[in-house]
Amino acid sequence: MILIDQIRSYQKFYKKGLQGFHRLNFLLFLLFLFVSKKDALKTMSLPPSHGIATLLSPIAIGDLILPNRVIMAPLTRGRAGHSRVPNDYMREYYEIRASAGLIIAEATAISEQGYGFFAAPGIYTKEHAEGWKNVVDAVHRKNGRIFLQLWHTGRKSHSSFHPHTPIVAPSPIAIPDGFVYDANRNKVDHEVPHELTKEEIALVIQDYRRAASLAHEAGFDGVEVHAANGYLIDEFLQSCSNHRTDEYGGSYENRFRFLQEVIEAVKEVYPPSRIGVRVSPNGVFSGMGSEDNHLMYPYVAARLSEYGLAYLHLMDGLWRGGNTKCPRVTLFDLKRHFNGPLIGNIDYTQETGDGAIRTGAVDAIAFGTLFLSNPDLADRFANKWPLNPPPPLEEYYGLTGDPKENLKGYLTYRPYLEE
């Protein structure tokens, strides 16, 4: 009966036209359910009142039990100021979002070299860790759970953020179009990155381990390795940005090697069950999008599955356009290869998120934009409270290096019972 309910739910979900799914995958998914329904259902809890999981059902992520499957996606907000140290405004921002099943805190630079976004926080000094500890402690006092996203911006950075070191990438290929903000928040052209040597790659891997260690000192429940959106790890994974001919380029195995070494370093600090990975095979942000992503990313999912990670976080929608050079990589494509919780992301609503979970193609949903203006999003879903519209784009990011000048659109939105 559960299987029939899943099929009916998927049909309803499919008719809504959610981006990232198409007719062929629907037929393949039905076959997948009939052939291996136990695997399709194994990460799903089955509350007696519903018979099948929804966004409001609990779930185990590694050895953590989340009270719901409403995940707060990592959201770059640029409120750390010139110091790059988390502050009390950030503490309050995360504290009022603690009802999320899991908070994945914003992308945070693992090193000065890896820094590349105006007023974003870091996690490469003791001062950074102490600032983050105040945030983590506040979330924990509200019985929340919080991971930190580890970030190296790669060729998406600008040398003004770190004048003594160049921007780096697997290959000396600049982002082909658009612009980047420099350290003074001026729009400037993309620079040609320095190609990392093997010795320099080893140093970056050490930076990831050190950042994970500082995150652990700050009390984070786990970390998410940012391997998406055209930043350094994504640049190694994709053939459009990785033209190396050594053991870090060429084959799927070689292009995966950098991410593999990052995972190996991070798991010296956190057990694999407290490590997540985020990927974006369909994205074109920062000049990404390769002809073989539909083959590369199932391979990546299978290799990551060997570790017993907390989760794999797939940006399966069309954020800032979509890669048209190869077939779309769907939740179903990665679910077949990753033996663990899969998180979907981009443009979900409560209805489509519930529908996706009920199909068994995904286990939880990360929400970004909705969390900006609805800090208690899970509670609003549970109580059918109204949702606020998202803030205007100019309030997404901090515009100056002084955090107190950038509170509009950041601490403006309150939990429903405080409104």
**Active-site residues: which are they?**
231
Three-state secondary structure of 87-115: CHHHHHHHHCCCCCCEEEEEEEECCCCCC
| Residue 405: how many other CB atoms lie within 10 Å | 12
207 phi and psi, to 5 degrees?
-60, -40
- Pick the closest to residue 97 from 57, 149, 144, 148 (CA basis): 144
Question: How far apart (Å, rounded) are the C-alpha atoms in residues 125 and 85?
Answer: 9
> What separation, in Å, do the N-terminal and C-terminal C-alpha atoms of the chain show?
43
Inter-axis angle of helices 293-305 and 252-266, to 10 degrees?
40
